[in-house]
Amino acid sequence: MSDVLVRARGLQVHFPVRARGLRRRRTGEVRAVDGVDLEIRRGETLGLVGESGCGKSTLGNALLRLVEPTGGRVEFDGTDVTALRARELRALRRRAVMVFQDPYASLDPRATVGQTVAEPLRVHGLHPGAAARAARVAELLELVGLDPAAAPRYPHEFSGGQRQRVGIARALAGEPDFVVCDEAVASLDVSVQAQVLNLLRELQQRLGLTYLFVSHDLAAVRHVSDRIAVMYLGRVVEVGDADAVSTRPQHPYAQALLSAVPLPDPAAERRRERIVLRGEVPSATRVPSGCRFRTRCPRAFAPCPDVDPALQEAEPGHRAACHLHGVVGTPVPAEQRGPA
């Protein structure tokens, strides 16, 4: 058994951009995920950070094949997910699940909490029979710290944190191996967010879960992750041990991102040097040639427009896609090179 549970190779998700009008002519594409190589190890939490529009949620969706990749492949436990047919896909849906951001939008307001949690059991034919299912629902509610007696109640009777627990119970119903948490604590208040983060960790230890923790909140990611991957404009630009990435970021984008995170420590805030980036993130329909960060990079130099940097080791177990660590990557054909 390989120690890698999920592997993406050259993964691409491109969305067509179409003109208005009857013919809906294809005028371009949004390169939301644009050549991602990533490994998620069994039992670990990989944190995936990046700013709005960097493609982190699309990547999470593509790993579960909730959106169809347009290129590259995804392997789950050695199987090529991109080639699965409907029946096999259903088996994947039991083993690889998602916890969504908004516990208000992701629960059916007209279904009781018990029905919501029981739904995956019905779909996958687990614990057949009403009594067995009810027993399993009670067990799941208890697992996430809710009173099993709450099963007949409706989502509106619960607070945001409790609803998120329901979402987690539903995700865990089929005894999955892999859970994508997409901004799973983003809409919760700090005091409640801590409860849910603690719960996720406890469940990981008890059930041996593997997490992809997708978030814009670097402090939360740092807290839960074993390793961290940083995304920019559809590409993973840095990945490594959580301590290393958060204390010694190697890619200039990761350095700027980390320096911008406000610290809840007034003295540290006053000492701090911020790297303030110039300009705006380019559109994912017009990705710069070579290194996609070069248009905003304070340290861009000659090879950046001409060679698309590959992830390479900056220190053991810590990789960055930046020419400052040696010019390695795919040369850009001369006619596609943009201005430096």
Partner 1 sequence: MSAGRTGHAGRAGDAQPVLEVQDLRVELDTPRGTASIVNGLSYSVAPGETVAVVGESGSGKSVSVMALLGLLPAHARVGGRALFRGRDLLAMGEPELRQVRGDGIGMVFQDPMTSLNPVLTVGRQITEGLLAHGRVAGGRQARERAAQLLADVGLPDPRAALGRFPHELSGGMRQRVVIAIALSGDPALLIADEATTALDVTVQAQILELVDGLRAEHGTGVVWITHDLGVVAGTADRVLVLYGGRCVEDGGVDDVFERPAHPYTQGLLGALPQLHDGPGGRRSELVAIAGAPPPPTDLPPGCVFHPRCPVRGDERCALEQPPLVPVALGARPDGTAVPHRAATFHDTAPGTGGAGS
* CB of residue 232 to partner 1, shortest distance in Å: 11
Over 273-334, what HEC string results? CCCCCCCCCCCCCCCCCCCCCCCCCCCCCCCCCCEEECCEEEECCEEECCHHHCCCEEECCH
Smallest gap from Cβ 162 to partner 1, in A, equals: 8
Q: How far is 39 from 176, CA to CA, in rounded Å?
A: 18
Task: Select 99 or 256, whichever has its Cβ closest to partner 1.
Answer: 256
Shorter beta-carbon distance to partner 1: residue 265 or 313: 265
- Shortest reach from residue 200's CB to partner 1, in Å: 11
Strand segments, DSSP code E, in the chain are: 4-18, 26-41, 45-49, 71-76, 79-80, 96-99, 178-182, 210-215, 227-232, 235-241, 307-309, 312-315, 318-320, 329-331
Show the CA angle centred on residue 327, arms to residues 322 and 331, nearest 5°.
100
Question: Smallest gap, in angstroms, from Cβ of residue 66 to partner 1?
Answer: 24
Which residues lie near partner 1 (CB under 8 A)?
A: 51-52, 159-162, 189-195, 197-198, 201, 216-220, 222-225, 242-243, 246-247, 256-270, 274, 276-277, 279-281
3-state secondary structure of 251: coil
Measured from the CB atom, the residue of 147 and 269 that comes closer to partner 1 is: 269
Q: In angstroms, give the least distance from the CB of 76 to partner 1.
A: 26
Q: How far apart are CA 41 and CA 9, in angstroms?
A: 15
Of the pair 6, 244, the CB lying nearest partner 1 is at 244
Closer to partner 1 at the Cβ: 207 or 275? 275
